Amino acid sequence: MSLPLEGLSAVVTGAGRGLGRGEALELARLGAAVVVNDFGQPGRDGSGDASAAPAEEVAAEIRAAGGKALSHTGDVADFRQAGELVRLAIAEFGKLDVLVNNAGILRDRMVFSMTEEEWDSVIRVHLKGHFNTTHFAAAHWRERSKAAGGPVYGRIVNTSSEAFLAGSAGQPNYAAAKGGIVGLTTSTALALAKYGVTANAICPRARTRMTEDVFAGLEQPEDGLDPLAPEHVAPLVGYLASPAAARVNGQLLVVHGGMVAIVERPRVAAKFDSKQETFTYDELDTLLTPYYGERPSGETFAAAEVLGLKRA
């Protein structure tokens, strides 16, 4: 019996630890050959010396289980190195079929205290890093499609966050980057659909090095799988990377602890029309002030609360 991803190749960024590691292992379990990318810095803020060990350890684990894998330790936030990563997968496996963007760092601070460097570094790794690899993968699929005279196989799975959905007071850089990733994903989905490529984003919740303080008060169960284990997220990534998900495109899905929620695009909550050529201040005051005054405090988070999301 063939595996869902047999014959396909994948790149997973930030795959030396946590979610990325679980995703790389799952793709390999489903039959894909995997390039495991991780810059290897020990600090979740991107500090410390880069190391080849995290990526190579995961690649070795895949090979030990009978799969195909190699490691790449480049910085995906660097345009040139991201290109080298995609070209490595193509050179090693003949083509690239799946791109999973997961690499990221945290530099948390309230917006009034955040430095320019703290803002730029997080945007660079998360948002620019997602763009860089997407750019080179998309160019590869476009060229293949032109040569084939029709659609080819391509899957992109990007990593957003509940911080984008519900806000996160101490993470304006992270929340903004994750919101940007959703915009990048939907734009990419529209642009690449004609080539046979899909692009989707997930908002995972898991206990990793990035979230160790967030879930510090939630103890792991003595028996059974931790509800916050990355293993709850990896199967969705495997599915989105598979042929079965051919009709899933431009979607945002929240996933954790045995739950997957499909997030709708924003809907209009109310609409007001001016009774004259254009609005005046007084007319807007008459219409909007009562509307917001009548809404329960915090109603802007209603959609997130329906999903059972925790406000940051």
- pLDDT in the model for residue 205: 86
Q: Which residues pair with 204 in a beta bridge?
A: 255
pLDDT at 306 over 50: no
Query: Considering only 46-60, 99-113, 277-291, which range has the smallest mean pLDDT?
Result: 46-60
pLDDT band at 17 (very low <50, low <70, confident <90, very high): confident
- Which two tokens mark 164? 């984008």
Q: What confidence tens digit (pLDDT) does each residue in 212-270 have?
A: 555 445 566 666 666 677 788 999 999 999 999 999 999 999 998 889 999 999 899 99
| Residue 308 reports pLDDT greater than 60 | no
Is 174 a residue of the active site? Answer: yes
In 10 A of CB 83, how many CB atoms?
A: 18
- Between 62 and 305, the higher pLDDT residue: 62
Q: What is the pLDDT of residues 57-96, one digit of tens each?
A: 999 999 999 999 999 999 999 999 999 999 999 999 999 9
Q: How many CB atoms lie within 10 A of CB 264?
A: 9
Task: Give yes or no for residue 137 having a pLDDT over 90.
Answer: yes
pLDDT band at 46 (very low <50, low <70, confident <90, very high): low
Decide if pLDDT at 210 tops 80: no
Q: pLDDT, tens digit, for every residue of 94-124?
A: 999 999 999 999 898 999 999 999 999 999 9
Indicate the pairing of strand 197-204 with strand 252-256: parallel
Order the strands of the 197-204 sheet from edge to edge.
69-72, 33-37, 9-12, 98-101, 154-159, 197-204, 252-256, 259-263
> What would the mean pLDDT of 185-195 be, rounded to a whole number?
98
Of 9, 121, 174, 195, catalytic: 174
User: How far is the C-alpha of 47 from the C-alpha of 172, rounded, in Å?
Assistant: 20
pLDDT at 277 over 90: yes
CB atoms within 10 A of CB 214: 16
Provide the percentage of residues in the chain whose pLDDT is more than 90. 72
51 or 139: which leads in pLDDT = 139
168 is catalytic: no
Per the residue annotation, which of 9, 128, 178, 242 is the catalytic one? 178
What tens digit of pLDDT does each residue of 144-185 get?
Answer: 999 999 999 999 999 999 888 888 889 999 999 999 999 999
Does the structure show a pLDDT above 60 at 304?
Answer: no
- pLDDT of 40 over the 80 cut: no
**For residue range 18-31, what is the model confidence (pLDDT) as tens digits?**
899 999 999 999 99
Measured torsion, CA atoms of residues 108, 111, 116, 121, in degrees rounded to the nearest 10? 30
Q: What amino acid is encoded at 163 in this protein?
A: A
Check pLDDT > 90 for residue 47: no
3-state class of 127 per DSSP? helix
Does residue 68 carry a catalytic annotation? no
Q: One of 121, 160, 161, 242 is an active-site residue; which one?
A: 161
